[in-house]
Amino acid sequence: MSLPDGFLDDLRTRLSIADVVARKVIWDARKSNPSKGDYWAPCPFHTEKTASFHVDDRKGFYYCFGCHAKGDALGFVRETENLGFMEAVKLLAAEAGMPVPASDPRAAEREAKRATLVDVMEAAVQHYKLNLSTAAAQGARTYLEQRGLSPAIIEHFEIGFAPNSNTLSEHLKEKGFEESKIIEAGLSIKSDRGGPPYDRFRGRIIFPIRDQRGRAIAFGGRSLDPDARAKYLNSPETPLFDKGRSLYNFGPARAAAGKAGALVVAEGYMDVIALHQAGFAHSVAPLGTAITANQLALMWRAHPEPIITLDGDTAGIRAAMRLIDVALPLLEPGKSLRFVIMPEGLDPDDLIKSAGASAMQDLLDNARPMVDLLWQRETEGQIFDSPERKALLDKNLRTLLNKIGDFSIKSHYGQEIKNRRQTLFYPQQQQQQGRKSPFTPWRKNAPKNAMPDTKNSLLASAGKGPEAEARVRESAILLGCLNHPDLAEKLESQLERLPYLCPDLRQISNALLATLPEAEGQEFNVVISTRMGFDVAEKLLSIRQVASNRHLRPDAEKDLAEQALSADITRQFAIVGIIEEVRDAEAETDPDEGLTWRLKEARNAVHDADMGALKDEDNSEDDREAAAKLQAFIDGKIWEK
């Protein structure tokens, strides 16, 4: 069976050979360095006690220094499982989530054609390199010298020159290559006017582009004419070259990334070359287009957290923002992106020349996580001074979070965004956290033990304190949210500020809010219970008054459920507010009329909340009893005695 072009390359790219081999060996922890893709183990092909079997996960190959066995993941599976070629392909394709395409009888023919095109491209590389030393290339050599490129760097990157003529086509024909192959390789273009074909690259400095196997697959050309229609020109799509699946300098950078523990992604050829010359050999660049999902997969094969460096101008920042949307659905635990936005007006080459390699390293060391740029994109330059604007931000953020496929990453992103949202919408609350928690009404200067003349007050009544009476109401709120996550999302801003008297229920509330981005109907309790380590619904339903409230059930009518939930939230704010005022009164050494007025206002808030409750008495009796006790306490003005 013949496979389509590029299928095996894609399969090797998606697989980790270390994961494939790990099924058959036990890694030597002393010699292995997983962070660099470097693994050692006793060889599975011959008997030995020492770890002479080496796997290079970044390059995708294994080699035994004892028996000299070597190969890739496909070869390893064939040898260890005694499988045929297609059986091994199907096994690994299933692991990589790739369907094996139907038989293509013309695949062998196309592969032979590709091999011929590789020969054409390699001959072109050598021709362009030789041209750089000719008299016609004086301007090109001057330009490269002005850019600070050393002869060694020019040789390393195989930089060449294409004169303003058809010398390449003529040279390749003399080498015996057919004109049709030269055109198919993207090196020559048919004339629209019926004349002979002409060279694609003319009057340009040439940068060869090689794939991860080291084969020349394309070229990039930098024009020396300031009036040229395009400063940079790349090869067209060919049987060898798919620009959305290729990265400039990927092969060498992948090997260097293992030693450096990083992968740097720059914008263009000259940035990569300048970075390499400054000691950052682990640098790659996309090829004139926005970074694609396939290019991200390549980057992650080299390093789990590539650093994207982009120019500080508008175009560079826009490119970073677009990349976020590409990356979000592809994120996995340990696989993400970090970003460096260069100082405005500077690219890596400029920065290195003006401030040195250390300045570049400082920027890389302080690269920003992707959630930073996501938040910046959604909030920068906007004013959230109305409920509608805040709601729109919430909607946009939820849409973005829903793009994340991994449950754990989605949860952590949701929590991080909630923290930032809290700071943005309620900055005063954040400032007060150190003095008085909005969720814990007890004042820092409150006496540890009740004063003798308040021992009979409501707050000191054994078993009848505010926590005991609030538990029913707080549990009801949480159960309503648990059974109706859509209402919880609608009331999210109120729930975030809601004060709790029961610490264990506050923890459930935190988990509920953190899990809202993942809420999906009846599975909501499973998600939160997994986070908490116990069945949350069972805990809340253990209270008789909560379990019997028909408005909290999953099948309750939406408008009645929302009315019940909103009423309980309003009562919670009001009753906890009056409790705080009472505690202030108990701690007050010189009460005045202002305190009495505040207590009166708090009492009115409780009354208004109670009047707004459902006519149904499912859950209001305990609240009214608590309010009545508080009112009696206020009327007695015990702090004045």
Q: What is the pLDDT of residues 56-86, one digit of tens each?
A: 887 888 998 888 888 888 888 888 877 778 8
Residue 183 CA neighbour count, 13 Å, CB half? 9
Strand 61-64 with 38-41, pairing = unpaired
Is this model's pTM higher than 0.75 or not? no
Q: Where are the beta strands (DSSP E) in 288-364?
A: 307-310, 338-341
Structure tokens at 197: 């074909």
Q: Which residues lie closer than 8 Å to 627 by C-beta, 6 or more apart?
A: 575, 578, 606, 607, 610
Are 210 and 269 part of one and the same domain?
A: no
CB-neighbour burial class of residue 435 (10 A; exposed 0-12, middle 13-18, buried 19+):
exposed
Q: Which residue do the tokens 């004139």 mark?
A: 288
Q: Which residue do the tokens 């021709």 mark?
A: 127
- HEC string of 226-277 equals CCCCCCEEECCCCCCCCHHHCCECHHHHHHHHHHHCCCEECCCHHHHHHHHH
Are 255 and 223 part of one and the same domain?
A: no
**Amino acid (1-letter code) at residue 291:** I
Into how many domains does the chain fold? 5
Residue 446 lies in a domain: no
Orientation angle between helical segments 621-636 and 558-587, nearest 10 degrees: 20
Structure tokens at 231: 């400063």
Nearest to 392 by CA among 419, 427, 425, 430: 425
Whichever domain contains 258, its CATH number is: 3.40.1360.10
Residue 458 lies in a domain: yes
Residue 60 lies in a domain: yes
Tell me how far apart the alpha carbons of residues 29 and 17 are, in angstroms, rounded to a whole number.
17
Residue 440 lies in a domain: no
Are 283 and 321 part of one and the same domain?
A: yes
Are 126 and 189 part of one and the same domain?
A: yes
Are 417 and 498 part of one and the same domain?
A: no
Tell me how far apart the alpha carbons of residues 489 and 474 are, in angstroms, rounded to a whole number.
17
Predicted pLDDT of residue 467: 61
Helix (H) or strand (E) holding 303: none
Instruction: Tell me the DSSP string of 59-107.
Output: TTEEEETTT--EE-HHHHHHHHHT--HHHHHHHHHHHHT-PPPPP-TTH
Structural domain ending residue among the three candidates 331, 354, 376: 376
Residue 601 CA neighbour count, 13 Å, CB half? 9
**Amino acid (1-letter code) at residue 222:** R
Whichever domain contains 38, its CATH number is: 3.90.580.10
Residue 139 CA neighbour count, 13 Å, CB half? 12
Structure tokens at 589: 């050494």
Are 584 and 457 part of one and the same domain?
A: yes
Tell me how far apart the alpha carbons of residues 230 and 244 are, in angstroms, rounded to a whole number.
20
273 touches 77 (CB < 8 A)? no
Are 217 and 136 part of one and the same domain?
A: yes
Are 21 and 170 part of one and the same domain?
A: no
Residue 546 lies in a domain: yes
Are 614 and 516 part of one and the same domain?
A: yes
Are 277 and 233 part of one and the same domain?
A: no
Structure tokens at 505: 């229920």
Residue 368 lies in a domain: yes
Residue 102 lies in a domain: no
Read off φ and ψ for residue 62, nearest 5 degrees: -125, 155
Taking the CA atoms of 148, 153, 157 and 161 in sequence, report the sign of the dihedral they define. positive
Q: Which domain holds residue 410?
A: 382-432
CA-only gyration radius of the chain, Å? 34
Whichever domain contains 111, its CATH number is: 3.90.980.10
Predicted pLDDT of residue 29: 86
Tell me how far apart the alpha carbons of residues 253 and 499 are, in angstroms, rounded to a whole number.
53
For residue 568, what are the CA distances in angstroms to 539, 547, 581, 596, 624?
19, 15, 20, 26, 12
Residue 1 lies in a domain: no
Are 258 and 321 part of one and the same domain?
A: yes
Are 428 and 473 part of one and the same domain?
A: no
**Regions of the chain short of the pLDDT cut 70:** 1-6, 102-115, 428-468, 517-522, 578, 580-641
Structural domain ending residue among the three candidates 376, 391, 416: 376
